Chain A
Amino acid sequence: MNDKFNINFSCPVQSNEYDKILMAHGGGGTYSKKLLEQFIYPLFDNNILSQRLDSGIFEISNSKLAFTTDSFVVSPIFFPGGDIGKLAVNGTINDLTVVGAKPLFISLSLIIEEGFPIEDFQKILFSIKSSTEKANVKVITGDTKVVEKGNCDKIFINTAGIGIIETGIDINPAKCKIGDKIILSGSIAEHGIAILTSRNNFEIETDIKSDTSALNHLVEKILNVSKNIHMMRDPTRGGLSSCLNEIAQTASVSMLIYEDKIPVKEEVKSICELLGLDPLYIANEGKIVVIVEPDDADAVLQTMRQDPLGQDAQIIGEIIEDNSNLVFMKTIIGTTRIVDMISGEQLPRIC
């Protein structure tokens, strides 16, 4: 062999676990999960937190209540289809909604950067007002803080929300069983792509709008037609794939979904192709995944489709007999593969 074969079979090793917080820790995937499991859950462990739902559920004088909180740091703060204010209201409403609660009240905390234009501030407040009115919730408390220029990016918003779970409603992952249908309320990946393409260094012009919306009215309708909805979740950060994996793990079930049943708008598909992104991993802010008894699936689907927020709803798969707690997908060409959770940083600061 000549000197051309100076082959070196090695590759460097980097220091093991990270000792600093990375952007990926906020990505909603495996990094975020590690942060919770390693640091947060063990420290604050209790019987409500340990249910690991989108809202904590508890009882006070025979009323079942749900409580949740969420912070919003999206950049840019105004984007096609919404703004940080609308997102902050809808996000918290949806976290209450998916545990079966009727959202009643929210809090509003604003962290504002010195120099932020009052005009933009007002725009965001009006957007918050119209979103709360649409969803029929009230802002009943709040806080404002201002930090020096450079110490936060324009404005960050935290909302917390409280809702009531009415008698007879019992959304419980433990009820998920083989044969249950998986319903998705509409086309995916629009929020993430809208944010990505609205960033100023991005030079693709599109009409893609964020799907940010409050899902409480839609969910109220489906809860009226079926008492056999076993689980709901909104596929936000980490996208549909991470959402389905979370359901699979929480409910200890495996799923089979069908690639050709998952609605993705043509324009979203094109951008994803162009950038090498997988729509399954891109965030949504106005979609819901519902696990329902097979006999009720059609009624739930038809009810969803009558609502503008669910008009593209599809049954995308079912829970299968398998003990691996994985999500499998029948691809469009007929083969089967595993759909995994997101890992690392895909698009930072999308909500």
Chain B
Amino acid sequence: MKFIDEYRNAKHTEKLAIEIKRITKHRWQIMEICGGQTLTILKYKLEELLPKQITLIHGPGCPVCVTATDFIDKAITIAFNDNVILTSYGDMLRVPGSKYNLLYARTLGANLRIVYSPIESVKLAQKNPDKKIVFFAIGFETTAPATASSVIEAKRLGLKNYSILCAHVLVPPAIELLLQSQLTKINAILAAGHVCTVMGYKEYLPIAKKYKVPIVVTGFEPNDILLGILMAIRQLEEGRYEVENQYSRAVKENGNLNAQKIMYEVFEITDCNWRGIGLIKNSGLKLKKEYLDFDAEKIFHIDTIETYQRNECIAGLILQGIKKPYECSQFYKKCNPDNPLGAPMVSSEGACSAYYRYNSINKFINKDERQIQH
């Protein structure tokens, strides 16, 4: 933990904040891609330390938040099958589907279990040969290799009762979409450190060049993020647009080649629906032909499913950084962590949930007369 404490050292924080203030001459909008970074920004109130000219825009990098409704509906449908145990990361349980979420499905008799890694699900399959174990595989390039290795392991063990519902998505296509869309002006990007640990940052070189946007691979501790911001502003003020690596203690240019190899042994790239954003070309992963025996959608015949969405939640605008959570008319009113209208209020890394939990603004939305006096 000493290792982490260094990146939360208040003296370093102060130095970074002073340097950011010193070099900032213009107005800049910087998007942090990853939900983990958003959480740190709000948990440590980093915006308090930044000059007014800098606006942080929270990006779509919360894996739970971007998982489309149809995947939740499919997961629920599967979990109601006899002899099935659906395994999932805990945060997915509360994400709304068309009708309800997995948590509610459990009260109606759906069989599901929270796991911390897909390999736990493989072990569950070994221990319960009479049950079908389906792992709800969500997340970015960070979690995809672990899912892939669970499939390889299941194949090696000859397990016939393990499968995955694959909802993995890829980050760079989403970044490109946001840069093209022009709905929000993004001057610089803090790329997600964990994703780059696996994938490296080669993929970002053409993006930075094409859109003339500095991209800084950034970690998750408060001082990581402040240093990432400093590096991005330095580039912006100097008129550069390069890919830089703040998170060099974990990220190498080529990433983790073994993890990439495992991932592409099992998966291939496909178009994918993102919650609130829609279909993004080449932004998802699906099982390759050789591994279709592990595809839960095929096994349970649910590759098409009817979903419906209503328009009270502006998750799409939030996920693209066009609006801040407190600009939503339902925020802190109808929508709160107990009764989330959309995924960004569910996940611990979701922008809405992070604002709800850590930002004082929401507490005073209806209580303007109250003043904090300290």
B363 CB within 8 Å of chain A: yes
A324 adjacent to B372 (CB under 8 Å) = yes
B338 adjacent to A12 (CB under 8 Å) = no
- Other-chain residue from A10, A20, A332 in contact with B311 (beta carbon distance below 8 A): A10
> Using an 8 Å CB-CB cutoff, how does the interface string of A162-198 with B read, 1 for contact, 0 for none?
0000000000000000000000000000000000000
Complex contacts, B99 vs chain A, CB 8 Å: 14-15
24 residue pairs of the A-B complex, CB under 8 angstroms, read A6-B279, A7-B181, A10-B276, A10-B310, A10-B311, A10-B314, A11-B275, A12-B313, A15-B99, A15-B100, A16-B339, A24-B103, A203-B120, A269-B1, A276-B348, A322-B374, A331-B222, A333-B10, A333-B222, A334-B10, A336-B45, A337-B42, A344-B94, A344-B337
B370 adjacent to A12 (CB under 8 Å) = no
Cα distance, A203 to B117, chains bound together (Å): 10
Cα distance, A201 to B315, chains bound together (Å): 34
Nearest chain A residue, comparing its CB with the CB of B222 = A333
Tell me which residues from 306 to 343 in chain A have a Cβ below 8 Å from any Cβ of chain B. 320-324, 326, 328, 331-338, 340, 343
Complex contacts, A337 vs chain B, CB 8 Å: 42-45, 358-360
Given A9-B276, A321-B373, A337-B42, 10 additional A-B pairs, CB 8 A: A9-B317, A11-B275, A13-B96, A24-B103, A320-B374, A324-B372, A328-B374, A333-B223, A337-B44, A340-B356
Give the total number of A-B pairs whose CB atoms are below 8 A apart.
167
Complex contacts, A266 vs chain B, CB 8 Å: 1
A279 to chain B, nearest CB (A): 12
Number of interface residues of A (CB under 8 A): 53
B276 adjacent to A334 (CB under 8 Å) = no
B1 adjacent to A273 (CB under 8 Å) = yes
Cα distance, A11 to B277, chains bound together (Å): 9
- Other-chain residue from B116, B313, B320 in contact with A10 (beta carbon distance below 8 A): B313
B97 CB within 8 Å of chain A: yes
- Other-chain residue from A15, A320, A326, A344 in contact with B338 (beta carbon distance below 8 A): A344
Number of interface residues of B (CB under 8 A): 78
Nearest chain A residue, comparing its CB with the CB of B312 = A13
A332 adjacent to B316 (CB under 8 Å) = no
Cα distance, A332 to B103, chains bound together (Å): 35
B276 adjacent to A8 (CB under 8 Å) = yes
Nearest chain A residue, comparing its CB with the CB of B103 = A22
Nearest chain B residue, comparing its CB with the CB of A8 = B278
B185 CB within 8 Å of chain A: no
Nearest chain B residue, comparing its CB with the CB of A324 = B370
A340 adjacent to B275 (CB under 8 Å) = no
A256 CB within 8 Å of chain B: yes
Cα distance, A28 to B269, chains bound together (Å): 43
List 6 tightest A-B contacts by C-beta distance, closest first: A11-B342, A11-B315, A11-B313, A335-B45, A9-B316, A343-B337
Cα distance, A16 to B341, chains bound together (Å): 9
Complex contacts, A5 vs chain B, CB 8 Å: 177, 180-181
A30 CB within 8 Å of chain B: yes
B187 CB within 8 Å of chain A: no
B274 to chain A, nearest CB (A): 9
- Other-chain residue from A7, A34, A273, A322 in contact with B316 (beta carbon distance below 8 A): A7
